[in-house]
Amino acid sequence: MRPPKYFEVPATAHLARTPFHRYYSPMLELFLASLVTFFVVIDPPGVTPMFATLTKDMPPAWRHYMAWKSVAIATFILFGFAIGGEWLLDKLHVSLDAFRIAGGILLFLIALDMLFETRTQRREARNEKVLEDRRAHPGEHEDISAFPLAIPLIAGPGSIASIMLLFAQHTDWTARAAVLAGAGANLLLTLVAFFLAARLTHMMGATVAAMITRIFGIILAALAAQFTIDGIKSAFALG
């Protein structure tokens, strides 16, 4: 079954006489494609201000513990869906083409949320609820690593659907390692951003963060459309 065109690796014949050819490989291109995809769906610049808000009244040691634990839980969830996603689809009698179409539509809806800021509004509403609960119990440091940090801020529907799609389309474990490397790099970036949350939030400001979110929304919408188009073509044998 053909992977989406976005993840197809072009022929390298035109690179044969260039210095770049010796460093070029299909796995590098797949890694870069995965890196961009997970950067868009996890959105480290978007989740960092949320982390800063949720942990601003916590001691530094507890804040760092929340950062480590939330990223560890998100990593476990994404790895679990990557490994077990194909088995789950098989047990549910869901074809890869159907999952491509559904996943593409889901990612497109997330992209619309990013473009029109409704995603940020929902995150802020969720954060406000957590903060209200904390104000009702002063002196207690709630464990927010699983919810809402790991789920759904880091390992949300978009990142879960993306890693399942990529693993279903690439059965070779070398290619899957490139996908995991792309996801892992973004999880590591998210962890670093959490440790530097207060400084990064101050540097970016609301305007820059909103601009970045909208740019990523456009990129994600294009990726989602490609997933859906390829799923429809494959399902109906359109070429």
Q: What is the pLDDT of residues 102-121, one digit of tens each?
A: 888 988 888 888 788 666 66
Is residue 88 scored above 70 in pLDDT?
Answer: yes
Residues 6 or more apart whose CB falls under 8 angstroms from that of 164 comprise 81, 82, 85, 86, 89, 99, 103
pLDDT of 126 reads 64
For residues 76 and 194, what is the distance between their CA atoms, to the nearest angstrom?
18
Tell the residue number behind the tokens 């999880």, with chain if given: 187
Residues 6 or more apart whose CB falls under 8 angstroms from that of 80 comprise none
For residues 82 and 85, what is the distance between their CA atoms, to the nearest angstrom?
5
What pLDDT, in 10s, does the model give residues 9-53? 444 444 444 444 454 588 899 999 999 999 988 988 888 888 887
Share of the chain above pLDDT 70, in %: 79
- Which pTM value belongs to this model? 0.74
Residues 6 or more apart whose CB falls under 8 angstroms from that of 34 comprise 166, 178, 179, 181, 182, 183
pLDDT of 134 reads 61
Query: Where does the pLDDT of residue 138 fall: very low under 50, low under 70, confident under 90, or very high at 90 and above?
Result: low
